[in-house]
Amino acid sequence: MNPIRVLVVDDSATMRGLITACLRQDPQIEVVGSAGDPIEARGAIKALNPDVITLDVEMPNMSGVEFLDKIMRLRPTPVVMVSTLTQRGTDITLQALELGAVDCVGKPGVGQPPDVFARELVEKVRTAARARLRSRDTTAPPVRRDFRGNGSLLAIGSSTGGVEALLTLLGAFPANCPATVITQHMPASFTRSFAERLNRTCQPQVQEAYEGAPLTPGQVYIAPGGATHLKVGGRSMLSCHLAASDLVNGHRPSVDVLFDSVAMTAGAASVGVILTGMGRDGAAGLLAMRQAGATTFGQDEATCVVYGMPKAALERGAVGREAPITQLASLVLDACETRSRVH
């Protein structure tokens, strides 16, 4: 198996050294070069033709987002963004993920110890090497205007590539969409900013989930990253609950935890969707939802950045139907119209 050839781009010599040292811990990764700014990186990309690029978010001469835009237009290459865990760094990274970066990792510092950084960096570079680069000329589906909800609950799970997938899916939802809960694998400092970004660009009200948040039509809740799992509870009125417990499938929040809770509380009055992502998180939970009578969907391989989670769910018999991301909104809303909350 050929090693994954990586180019490290960061304006800090210290960070370039740290990233290089972290990546060299994995024998399947070869750091073939480094660059201190986009101008230097442009020449290195042409000369070295790397399999993956790690890219600093904030650099001199040209921002990481501007440079990423050029990479994706002129020489598409899988990119992992390396971000400072600040508000500005988070906002820029989210823009980069929308433009086509495969994933992001927070620089070591407050809330991100070096050993955690190294482990996540290696994992995300390995994932990026297998990722499908996305087409940027896909026409977004129109907003569904004639949706008539009847109290159904929608649960969505996603990981690598999920930022763009969720923007596409939720972008077609009307303001009166079904109550929706989402677990997206994302660093803790990113989920609130991501929810705010979705709220600005989509018709429904989108926010980070909080304890006791009522699940009512037009409300979309994103699981907070890091310390808790998002669950659904209640009988006559469903609501969000945050549970501080161990990692599940290596994740917290976990898609399986969310889907399991939906299967138990909403059952046949729910719809489940599993989107692009690495690994198997969500497969068992989506199967529990389907066995409880829910309608279930998976994003198809052609439109996934990483066809891991949907594939695992399909192989377990958890996915009732696969579809491209641009068609899922219409299918999901149709399914939600046929589901009703049993009081």
Residue among 158, 159, 239, 270 flagged as catalytic: 159
- Catalytic site residue from 56, 158, 185, 241: 185
Question: CA nearest 94: which of 29, 170, 157, 167?
Answer: 167
Contact 79, 97 (CB under 8 A): no
Among 111, 145, 128, 139, smallest CA distance to 226 is for 111
The verdict on whether 159 is a catalytic residue reads yes
Q: Is 241 a catalytic site residue?
A: no
Helix 255-265 vs helix 283-291: angle between axes, to the nearest 10 degrees? Answer: 10
**CA-CA distance, 250 to 226, in Å (whole number)?**
11
Helix-helix angle 13-23:114-130, to 10 degrees: 70
pLDDT digits (tens, 9 = 90+) for 41-62: 999 999 999 999 999 988 887 8
268 closest CA partner among 152, 142, 163, 96: 152
pLDDT score at 343: 33
- What pLDDT is attached to residue 285? 98
Q: Does the reported pTM lie above 0.85?
A: yes
The per-residue pLDDT for range 152-202, each reduced to its tens digit, is: 999 999 999 999 999 999 999 999 999 999 999 998 889 999 999 999 999
- Residue 86, pLDDT above cutoff 90: no
Catalytic residue list contains 185: yes
Residue 111 has pLDDT above 80, yes or no: no
Q: What is the pLDDT of residues 261-320, one digit of tens each?
A: 999 999 999 999 999 999 999 999 999 999 999 999 999 999 999 999 999 999 999 999
Burial of 46 (0-12, 13-18, 19+ CB in 10 A): exposed
Q: For residue 137, give the DSSP letter.
A: -
Strands 103-106 and 153-158: what pairing?
A: unpaired
Alpha helices, H only, the chain: 13-23, 38-48, 64-74, 87-99, 114-130, 162-171, 191-201, 255-265, 283-291, 309-315, 325-338
Q: SS3 of 32, please?
A: strand
Q: Which among 51, 56, 103, 281 is annotated as catalytic?
A: 281
Closest CA to 283 of 296, 271, 292, 293: 296
Residue 136 has pLDDT above 70, yes or no: no
227 or 34: which leads in pLDDT: 34
Start-to-end C-alpha separation, the chain: 56
**Is the separation of the CB atoms in 217 and 167 below 8 Å?**
no
